[in-house]
């Protein structure tokens, strides 16, 4: 069997990749597939970055009974219509009331999240999929358009991690000021397009597992009150500072120190685990 081909990228190439990644996060599909010139890119940034810093829309799929953001929406999160959040209007020079985010690729007139069962879309209680329903609210079924069993809205019975069915959730679209007023995290101001409700790595977790103000998360009784160990679940380690045993030596080792680079952090953690005997000896 032939050996797999390998290649290396020099520092100049790495810088080019980083610059392109930054470009796509800022511009998205606004260049319509043709890269902006340097002048066009600078003009784009000069216009839209200040607007994003000021008028960011925080988007989440919310359980109002528990005041929990069960799903925080990011650039790649799919809409009911099948397109990503970044394919919808996310930049506003003036925030409208109500906030409506139309899709650039179809007739969807407002971004709306519908959970998926693994990689598959969930069904409505009428047994039909989202793409068999109307693209506009209240998303009536096109296959049940008439008759005694007419379906006038998409109503999924799929159960969320929070324990409530899909139809008991609502979409929340709010400004930074409104989110702060609700006591929810807003993260840092970033220049990237379609960040929605993402404010950090914990935003990627379901609300029931997220131990921050946007998700209730399991309580200390569920956690068992046990000290955090290096072999514990990543979500426990990620939020170790929010737990009552945060001052244990193990917990302190798991925290990234001020001024410590990511590489130095993982190198220090690896050496500490090695010293403690967490790795099997062959």
- Sequence ranges of the domains in the chain: 218-276
What is the reported pLDDT for 224? 47
pLDDT at 243 (0 to 100): 46
Maximal C-alpha separation, the chain: 71
First to last CA, the chain: 29
CA distances 166 to 4, 239, 278, Å, are 46, 27, 42
Give Cβ neighbours of residue 136 (< 8 Å, ≥ 6 apart): 107, 108, 109, 110
CA distance 237 to 39: 45
pLDDT under 50 in the chain at which residues? 220-224, 241-245, 282
> What is the pTM assigned to this prediction?
0.74
- In this prediction, residue 221 carries a pLDDT of 43
Q: Report pLDDT digits (tens) over 202-251.
A: 899 999 888 788 886 655 444 445 555 555 656 555 555 444 445 566 66
The pLDDT of residue 233 is 59
| Distance separating alpha carbons of residues 203 and 198, to the nearest angstrom | 5
Q: How far apart are CA 47 and CA 43, in angstroms?
A: 6
Cα 264 from chain centre: 27
């Amino acid at each position: 069997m032939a050996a797999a081909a390998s290649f290396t990228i020099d520092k100049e190439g790495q810088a080019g990749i980083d610059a392109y990644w930054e470009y796509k996060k800022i511009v998205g599909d606004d260049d319509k597939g043709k890269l902006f010139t340097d002048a066009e890119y600078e003009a784009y940034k000069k216009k839209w970055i200040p607007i994003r810093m000021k008028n960011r829309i925080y988007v989440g799929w919310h359980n109002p009974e528990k005041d929990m953001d069960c799903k925080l929406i990011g650039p790649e999160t799919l809409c009911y219509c099948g397109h990503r959040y970044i394919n919808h209007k996310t930049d506003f020079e003036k925030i409208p009331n109500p906030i409506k985010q139309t899709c650039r690729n179809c007739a969807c007139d407002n971004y709306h999240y519908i959970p998926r069962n693994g990689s598959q879309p969930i069904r409505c209680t009428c047994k039909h999929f989202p793409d068999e329903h109307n693209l506009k609210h209240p998303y009536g079924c096109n296959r049940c358009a008439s008759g005694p069993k007419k379906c006038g809205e998409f109503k999924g019975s799929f159960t969320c991690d929070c324990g409530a069915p899909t139809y008991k959730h609502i979409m929340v679209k709010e400004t930074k000021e409104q989110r702060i007023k609700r006591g929810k995290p807003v993260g840092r101001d970033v220049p990237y397009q379609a960040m929605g409700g993402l404010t950090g790595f914990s935003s990627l977790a379901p609300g029931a597992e997220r131990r921050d103000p946007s998700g209730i998360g399991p309580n200390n009784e569920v956690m068992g009150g046990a000290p955090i160990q290096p072999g514990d679940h990543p979500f426990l380690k990620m939020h170790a500072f929010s737990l009552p045993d945060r001052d244990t030596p193990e917990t302190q080792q798991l925290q990234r120190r001020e001024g410590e680079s990511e590489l130095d952090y993982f190198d220090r953690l690896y050496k500490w685990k090695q010293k403690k005997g967490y790795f099997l000896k062959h």
